[in-house]
Amino acid sequence: MEVKGIDRYWNPILETLPQEKLRELQFKKFKRIVEWGYNNSKLYRRIYDEAGFKPEDLKTWSDIAKVPTLQKEDYRDAQYKEPWPYGDSLCVPLEKVTEYHQTSGTTGQPVYQPDTWQDWEWWSESWAYILWAQGFRDTDRVFIPFGYNVFVAYWAGHYACEKVGCEVVPGGILNTEERLLKIKELKASALMATPTYVLSMAESCRNKLNMEAQDLNVQKILCAGEPGASVPTTKKRMEDAWGAKVHDHVGATEIGGWSYECTAQPGGMHPNEAFFLVELVDIESGEPIEEPNKPGKIIITAFDREAQPCIRFDSKDVSMWAEEPCECGRTFRLLKGGIHGRVDHITKVKGVLFSPVSVEEVVRGMPELGDEYELIVSKKGDTDVITLKVELEPETNATEEDVQPELARQLRLKTNLAYKIEFHPFGSLPRYEIKAQRFKDQRKHD
């Protein structure tokens, strides 16, 4: 859907504020939240005191880099004690907390996330920017095919849908086939899901229900939770399967819904610069990166979150600034290619910097291959070996011998590395319900 004029923006003033004004506003808000954290949380006070930093040291934009960064482990260490369970990270009296969520805990003990009612309003407001930019309007019926449990993203998406006027259908409890039938019955026009699930729903639709997902009425899909919607070949697979526009979004429990792709589909995502300070820093040195096309790590501050502030949080996500502004007219910058991966996944293999997302781009770009793949880095003697497991599409006429040389060639072009390619029968690689774990680095355990 292409919307023109002022109706394009959820907040026409903030989303088109000249960059200079935007930086002024950001600095003011940054200073305010740093003071709030220092004055109200033992966690921030400890970290800043240890680093010899005081909020009054913040005088100009370049002082921002002096503020110590916060790691996920810092939350973990501060929590699990009184006031239970948020401990030293809590900035408000416990009775002010109205929402409980937590991280999934895939990388260790979950981080608990308290929010006040004001924070919760902030969540739905920041998500409203995302939905609006992706064309969600009051005419949409949005199906959310998950049980939300204690995970924040879809709760926030749900409330923001209501805020922009959409009708929301929560699709938890049901299994995949029942969800698809519900989408068909209600003629749902929009969907929110992880790329993994968007693809596996389309596969179930074809193989189990004998229908094509593109024959349902879904016109737009908001993706979250994994980088797939910013990988052009994965996006194309989803758009082809559903006959719908697919847009990416990135958020995190500790941070908020901080970034989104707009309907211009510029090949990147806008950080919401009215709500967040998004900095790009050199992965090794931590020096700020302002120039385009240079990969760096993303450090994020949420300006207005009071219960458990998120100040210069090390997201470990990697991206780069785009050189051109987006044609949608937003003055928020663009992160080119969305999130390219995580610092802990971008590793050196045979001395070459390697990002698993580039392999996904190649695999999903070959129509003879199915959606699933698995990537394992291991060690044989002193040599790193990368094994790529793939499946042939059931309907292809191509054989393994036809596909293998082209796959190897494209992988070498894209990543400068050689792979041990294994073909597995269709349907035998693991299928994932929500987020996939397709990359395994076994060298650390050898």
Q: Which of residues 11-30 bind Zn ion (CB under 5 A)?
A: none
Residue type at 258?
A: W
Residue type at 182?
A: K
> For residue 315, how many other CB atoms are within 10 A of its CB?
22
Question: Is residue 380 classed as helix, strand or coil in its secondary structure?
Answer: strand
Cβ proximity to Zn ion: between 289 and 328 the closer is 328
Cβ proximity to Zn ion: between 276 and 354 the closer is 276
| Residue 417 makes contact with Zn ion by CB under 5 A | no
Cβ proximity to Zn ion: between 49 and 327 the closer is 327
Does residue 227 contact residue 295 with C-beta atoms inside 8 Å?
A: no
Instruction: Name the nearest CA neighbour of 18 among 325, 360, 372.
Output: 325
| Shortest Cβ 61–Zn ion spacing (Å) | 24
C-alpha span between 251 and 154 (Å, rounded): 11
Does residue 325 contact residue 262 with C-beta atoms inside 8 Å?
A: no
Contact string 257-276 vs Zn ion (x = CB under 5 A): -----x-x------------
Residue 390 dihedral angles phi and psi, to the nearest 5°:
-135, 170
Q: Where is 239: in which H helix or E strand?
A: helix 232-242
- Degrees (nearest 5) of the Cα angle 279, 351, 286? 20
Contact string 213-252 vs Zn ion (x = CB under 5 A): ----------------------------------------
Cβ proximity to Zn ion: between 83 and 329 the closer is 329
Size of the site for Zn ion (CB under 5 A): 5
- Degrees (nearest 5) of the Cα angle 36, 41, 47? 100
Cβ proximity to Zn ion: between 87 and 268 the closer is 268
Rg (CA), the chain: 22
249 strand-pairing partners: 260
Question: Is residue 172 classed as helix, strand or coil in its secondary structure?
Answer: coil
| Shortest Cβ 327–Zn ion spacing (Å) | 7
End-to-end CA distance of the chain: 51
| Shortest Cβ 278–Zn ion spacing (Å) | 15
Q: Which of residues 336-375 bind Zn ion (CB under 5 A)?
A: none
Question: Is residue 2 classed as helix, strand or coil in its secondary structure?
Answer: coil
| Shortest Cβ 162–Zn ion spacing (Å) | 24
Contact string 425-444 vs Zn ion (x = CB under 5 A): --------------------
> For residue 404, how many other CB atoms are within 10 A of its CB?
14
Q: Which of residues 271-330 bind Zn ion (CB under 5 A)?
A: 326, 328, 330
Instruction: Name the nearest CA neighbour of 235 among 201, 266, 277, 199.
Output: 199
Does residue 152 contact residue 181 with C-beta atoms inside 8 Å?
A: no
| Shortest Cβ 132–Zn ion spacing (Å) | 12
| Shortest Cβ 64–Zn ion spacing (Å) | 25
| Shortest Cβ 272–Zn ion spacing (Å) | 12
Cβ proximity to Zn ion: between 134 and 194 the closer is 134
| Shortest Cβ 234–Zn ion spacing (Å) | 20
Residue 370: exposure state from Cβ atoms within 10 A (0-12, 13-18, ≥19): buried
Cβ proximity to Zn ion: between 16 and 214 the closer is 16
Does residue 420 contact residue 387 with C-beta atoms inside 8 Å?
A: yes
Cβ proximity to Zn ion: between 1 and 94 the closer is 1
C-alpha span between 95 and 110 (Å, rounded): 22
Tokens of 113: 């996330």
| Shortest Cβ 91–Zn ion spacing (Å) | 33
Cβ proximity to Zn ion: between 186 and 264 the closer is 264
Q: Which stretch binds Zn ion (CB under 5 A): 12-20, 256-264, 312-320, 382-390?
A: 256-264
| Shortest Cβ 263–Zn ion spacing (Å) | 8
Cβ proximity to Zn ion: between 176 and 259 the closer is 259
Contacts with Zn ion by CB under 5 A lie at 262, 264, 326, 328, 330
